[in-house]
C-alpha cells in the first residue's frame, strides 16, 4: 500500500528501465539511487518476442525481477514504493529500433502503465502520457512539465532521447569522460558469466549456471568423481537421488514400481534446482547422474518378467518425463564414463546386470536416449582410470569456464 501522507502535493517519481538480461549490479546502482531520492520508483523491463540475445524469455524475466523487487528491495517495515512491470515491444508493434516514433510509442505506454499503478494503489489518476494533470482527490499531482519525473539510466543515448522530450534524466555510474564507473554490462555478463558471477543478482544465477553432467552405468565411480570435483572447485553438486532414496528405504531394483521411478524423476530435478539456487553455486555445478539414467534403468527393468516394473509402466514414465522434464533437462557438457573395471555390490544394485556385457547394453541404451532427446552433441566419453577422468573434467572447467 502506498503511504498516502507522502503523496500530498507533488511527488518525485523515478524510472529505471532496461532489458535486465540479466539484472546485475550496474542496474542496482540506478535502482538504489532512485529509491533513495524518489517517493516512488518504477522498474521497467523492456524486451520483445524471440530476442536472439535473451537467455531467458521475456515473461520469465519480468516475473523473476518482480519477485526480486518485492522480496529484496521493498522495505518490509515501510510502505511499498518500488513497482515493477514489463513492456513488450512486440505487443506494441514496434521493433528494437530506437527511432523517434518508437520512443514516443514506448513512452506513452510507459506512462499509461504508471498511471494505472498509481490509480490502483493510490486511488489517483495521473495522465503522464500527454503531460497533463488529472487527479481525483488532489492527493498526488504530476505537474504539467513532468518536472517530478526522473529517469535513472546508464546510457548517454537514452539521456539524449529524453532531453529532446524535455524529460528529466540522470546518468548513473558514468564519469565525466563517459566511461562506466561500475564497469559491467549485460553483454559482458552473457559472454562470460563466471567472470562477473558475484555481480549478477542471485535470481538470475541459476539461468546462467554452467551445468556439467557426469553419468554412465552403475559402479563406474561417478559419485566419487563428482564429489571430488565439487570439493576441488568449491562449488555445489547434485547427488543421485534414486540411489539415495533406495538406500534410505531399503528398496532394491526388483521391487521398484512406476511410483518409485516417478519419484526418482521428481526428486532428481528438485535436487538440481536446489543446487542451481544454492549460495554455494560458483557459476557451474556438477551432477552425479540425471533423469535419463532413470529412464535407462527403467527401460532395462521393464523387459525382465520377474521385476515389478512393466513395459506399460515404462511407456507411462517416458511420457511423464517428456511432459515435465525434457525441456528443463539441458546440459552444457555431458561426460560419460565408459563401462570398465569391477562391479561393486552395494546391496542395492541388481547383480544380474553386473557383467561388462550387461553394462555395455545399458551404456548403449543411454546413448540412444541422449540421441533421441538431442543431447548427443554435448557428450564427451571418458575412457581413463579415475585420475585421468578427473583431469579431463578439471581441464574442461578451467579452459572453458574459468579462463574463458
In the chain, where are the structural domains located?
A: 4-199, 209-402
Q: How crowded is residue 157: how many other Cβ atoms within 10 Å of its Cβ?
A: 9
**What would the mean pLDDT of 275-283 be, rounded to a whole number?**
95
Task: Classify 216 in phi/psi space as left (phi over 0), alpha (psi -120 to 50) or beta.
Answer: left
Q: Output the pLDDT for position 50.
A: 80
Q: What is the pLDDT of the chain when averaged over all its residues?
A: 86
The two domains 4-199 and 209-402 share their CATH topology (first three levels equal): yes
Picking from 50, 393, 107, the residue whose alpha carbon sits closest to that of residue 227 is 393
- Kindly report the length of the chain: 404
Q: Per-residue pLDDT tens for 355-378?
A: 778 888 889 999 999 999 999 999
Least confident residue range of 120-124, 213-217, 248-252, 315-319 = 120-124
Is the pLDDT assigned to residue 137 strictly greater than 50?
no
Contact 365, 318 (CB under 8 A): no
Using alpha carbons, select from 142, 84, 151 the residue that is nearest to residue 113: 84
Q: How far apart are CA 12 and CA 49, in angstroms?
A: 32
The superfamily in CATH containing domain 209-402 is P-loop containing nucleotide triphosphate hydrolases (3.40.50.300)
Has residue 145 got a pLDDT over 90? no
| Average pLDDT of span 198-207 | 95
Strand-pair category, 333-337 with 379-382 = parallel
Give the CATH class of 4-199: alpha beta
Predicted local distance difference test score (pLDDT) of residue 81 = 87
pLDDT for 245:
95
Distance CA 347, CA 366 (A): 23
What contacts 180, CB < 8 A, 6 or more positions away? 26, 154, 173, 174
Contact 176, 1 (CB under 8 A): no
Residue 7's pLDDT is what?
A: 46
CB 286 within 8 A of CB 396: no
- Between CA 18 and CA 201 the distance in angstroms is 15
Comparing 61 with 183, which gets the higher pLDDT? Answer: 61
Residue with cell 509402466: 313
pLDDT of 197 > 90? The answer is yes
Which of 47-56, 201-210, 293-302 shows the lowest per-residue confidence on average (mean pLDDT)?
A: 47-56
Residue 388: pLDDT over 90:
yes
CA 360 centroid distance within chain: 36
Amino acid at each position: 500500500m502506498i503511504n498516502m501522507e507522502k503523496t500530498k502535493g507533488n511527488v518525485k517519481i523515478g524510472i529505471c528501465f532496461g532489458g535486465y538480461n540479466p539484472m546485475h549490479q550496474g542496474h542496482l546502482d540506478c535502482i538504489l539511487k532512485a529509491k533513495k531520492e524518489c517517493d516512488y520508483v518504477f522498474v521497467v523491463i523492456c524486451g520483445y518476442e524471440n530476442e536472439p540475445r535473451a537467455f531467458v524469455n521475456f515473461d520469465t524475466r519480468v516475473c523473476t525481477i518482480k519477485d526480486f523487487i518485492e522480496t529484496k528491495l521493498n522495505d518490509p517495515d515501510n510502505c511499498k514504493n518500488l513497482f515493477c512491470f514489463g513492456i513488450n515491444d512486440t505487443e506494441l508493434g514496434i521493433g528494437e529500433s530506437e527511432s523517434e516514433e518508437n520512443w514516443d510509442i514506448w513512452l506513452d505506454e510507459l506512462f499509461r502503465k504508471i498511471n494505472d499503478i498509481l490509480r490502483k494503489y493510490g486511488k489517483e489518476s495521473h495522465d503522464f502520457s500527454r503531460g497533463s494533470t488529472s487527479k481525483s482527490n488532489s492527493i498526488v499531482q504530476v505537474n504539467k512539465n513532468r518536472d517530478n519525473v526522473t529517469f535513472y539510466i546508464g546510457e548517454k543515448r537514452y539521456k539524449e532521447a529524453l532531453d529532446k522530450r524535455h524529460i528529466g534524466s540522470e546518468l548513473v555510474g558514468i564519469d565525466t569522460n563517459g566511461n562506466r564507473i561500475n564497469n559491467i554490462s549485460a553483454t559482458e555478463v552473457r559472454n562470460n558469466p563466471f567472470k562477473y558471477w558475484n555481480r549478477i543478482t542471485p535470481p538470475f544465477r541459476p539461468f546462467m549456471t554452467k551445468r556439467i553432467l557426469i553419468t554412465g552405468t552403475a559402479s563406474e565411480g561417478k559419485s566419487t568423481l563428482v564429489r571430488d570435483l565439487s570439493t576441488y572447485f568449491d562449488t555445489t553438486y547434485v547427488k543421485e537421488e534414486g540411489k539415495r532414496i533406495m538406500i534410505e528405504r531399503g528398496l532394491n531394483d526388483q521391487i521398484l514400481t512406476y511410483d518409485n521411478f516417478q519419484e526418482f524423476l521428481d526428486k532428481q530435478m528438485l535436487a538440481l534446482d536446489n543446487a542451481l539456487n544454492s549460495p554455494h553455486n560458483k557459476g557451474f555445478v556438477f551432477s552425479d547422474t540425471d533423469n535419463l539414467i532413470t529412464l535407462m534403468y527403467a527401460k532395462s527393468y521393464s523387459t525382465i518378467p520377474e521385476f515389478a516394473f512393466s513395459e506399460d509402466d515404462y511407456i507411462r514414465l517416458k511420457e511423464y518425463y517428456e511432459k515435465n522434464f525434457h525441456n528443463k533437462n539441458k546440459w552444457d557438457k555431458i561426460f560419460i564414463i565408459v563401462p570398465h573395471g569391477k562391479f561393486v555390490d552395494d546391496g542395492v544394485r541388481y547383480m544380474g546386470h553386473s557383467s561388462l556385457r550387461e553394462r555395455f547394453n545399458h551404456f548403449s541404451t543411454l546413448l540412444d536416449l541422449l540421441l533421441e532427446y538431442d543431447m548427443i552433441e554435448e557428450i564427451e566419453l571418458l575412457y581413463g582410470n579415475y585420475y585421468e577422468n578427473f583431469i579431463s573434467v578439471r581441464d574442461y572447467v578451467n579452459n572453458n569456464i574459468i579462463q574463458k
